[in-house]
Amino acid sequence: MALLEVEDLRVAFGGATAVDGVDFHVDQGQVVGLVGESGCGKSVTSLAVMGLLPRRGVTVTGKARFEGVDLLSLPRSDMRRRRGSDLAMVFQDPLSSLNPVVKIGTQITEVLERHRGLRGDAAVKEAEQLLDRVGIPDPRRRLGEYPHQLSGGMRQRVLIAIAVACAPRLLIADEPTTALDVTIQAQILELLKDLVDSEGTALLMITHDLGVVAGLCDEVNVLYSGRVVESAPARRLFAEPTHPYTVGLLNSIPRLDLPIHEPLKPIRGSIADVIRWKDGCAFAPRCDRVTEECVEGEPPLIGTAHAHRCVMAEEVA
């Protein structure tokens, strides 16, 4: 059984549909990528799974089964107990995700206290081990410091330490490397990979960086305009991308094996306005291979191991 199974998830902010029927699953110990450009619904999907969306003005429907239990219909108090212990999240901006006036140590121990009942010295000792585990030198001193005294990479390590403090079975990382520079990005990804391998934690990686996906993920779901347009094992996705959007994404990445001065091929236009939604393929207005068939109705997700949502798929491949 899948660890997390998201089924027909829909999130609407008033009239605007941000997530429009997303299905994917994460197996035990697996790294699954959720890829797409800004505004495609990646972050909203993760927030919905964690139950962190505001209740006012937001409608969430569908299912998000975690070990068979639907998280979306759980009472709020049960969900609160699960957050941090069963599933935890690492956010994009490590500086703003840490409380600026609370010491690092306190921010770690409060989670240990809440979910593992550790108090006093035991909690501090455990916090120290956690910092050591995520590769922070001199952890004892760091516990007494404030977030602004740490570098960006260190802060993200602290956030990861807090997230894995209670050994969650699923870790959701929402663009954990976006705010960091390239060398630090690589270190953080290495750390996440290491944690996943050694603890057997499943990781849902939300990113717009296909390089991150290539290096880390087992399975990839490409999101466009609130829908999964392609879903495949990472290797197959890079080897034979089927959906024109995925092809476009891959074409717009600079590559070392292309001749110098070869211009990148951007995807023309910008992401469709979620409010003015019509029938037909959401990508049709930007697609180079658009036909009449594309605007007649929403294409279904075809295939199992390597699924895609395009009527022209065979020709693209």
User: What is d(CA 6, CA 206) in angstroms, rounded to the nearest whole number?
Assistant: 15
Is 3 one of the binding residues for another protein (CB under 8 A)?
no
- Amino acid at the residue 286: R
Residue 132 phi/psi, 5-degree rounding, is -65, -40
Q: Contact with another protein (CB under 8 A): which of 159, 196, 220, 234? A: 159
Please list every residue from 33 through 62 that binds another protein, using CB under 8 A: 50, 52
User: Which one among 59, 61, 96, 252 touches another protein, defined by CB under 8 A?
Assistant: 96
**Per CB under 8 A, 98 contacts another protein:** yes
CA-angle at 131, arms to 126 and 179, nearest 5°: 140
> Does residue 178 belong to the site contacting another protein (CB under 8 A)?
no
Does 88 sit near another protein (CB under 8 A)? Answer: yes
Cα 281 to chain centroid, rounded: 24
- Residues 11-28 as b or e (16 or more Cβ within 10 Å = b): bbbeeebbbbbbbbbbee
| Binding window for another protein (CB under 8 A); candidates: 22-30, 65-73, 98-106, 281-289 | 98-106
Exactly one of 23, 27, 132, 145 binds another protein (CB under 8 A); that residue is 145
Buried b (16+ CB within 10 A) or exposed e, 80-96: eebbbbbbbbbbbbbee
CA neighbor of 231 nearest in space, from 25, 9, 30: 25
89 binds another protein (CB under 8 A): yes
Residue with Cβ nearer another protein (141 or 278): 141
Beta carbon of residue 107, minimum distance to another protein (angstroms, whole number): 8
115 binds another protein per the rule CB under 8 A: yes
Tell how strand 307-308 and strand 227-233 pair up. antiparallel
Using CB under 8 A, which of 65, 81, 116, 236 touches another protein? 81
Nearer residue to another protein within complex by CB, 106 or 187: 106
Determine, following the binding rule CB under 8 A, whether residue 163 of this chain makes contact with another protein.
yes
Q: Which is nearer to another protein, 101 or 305 (CB)?
A: 101
Interface with another protein, residue 91, by CB under 8 A: yes
Q: Is 97 in the site for another protein (CB under 8 A)?
A: yes
Q: What is d(CA 88, CA 84) in angstroms, rounded to the nearest whole number?
A: 5
For 262-298, give one letter per residue: b (16+ CB within 10 A) or e. Answer: eeeeebeeebbebeeeeebbbbbbbbeebeeebeeee
Name the one range near another protein by CB under 8 A: 100-108, 131-139, 194-202, 219-227.
100-108
Of the pair 93, 298, the CB lying nearest another protein is at 93
Q: Is 101 in the site for another protein (CB under 8 A)?
A: yes
In sequence order, the 6+-apart residues with CB closer than 8 A to the CB of 310 are 229, 230, 242, 243, 244, 281, 299, 316
Sole window of 20-28, 108-116, 215-223, 290-298 interacting with another protein (rule: CB under 8 A): 108-116
The yes or no reply on residue 164 touching another protein (CB under 8 A) is: no
119 touches another protein by CB under 8 A:
no
Q: If we measure between CA atoms, which residue out of 64, 59, 52 comes closest to residue 16?
A: 59
Segment interacting with another protein (CB under 8 A) among 103-111, 197-205, 285-293, 298-306: 103-111
Binding footprint of another protein on the chain (CB under 8 A): 50, 52, 80-85, 88-89, 91, 93, 96-102, 106, 110-111, 114-115, 145-146, 148-149, 159, 162-163
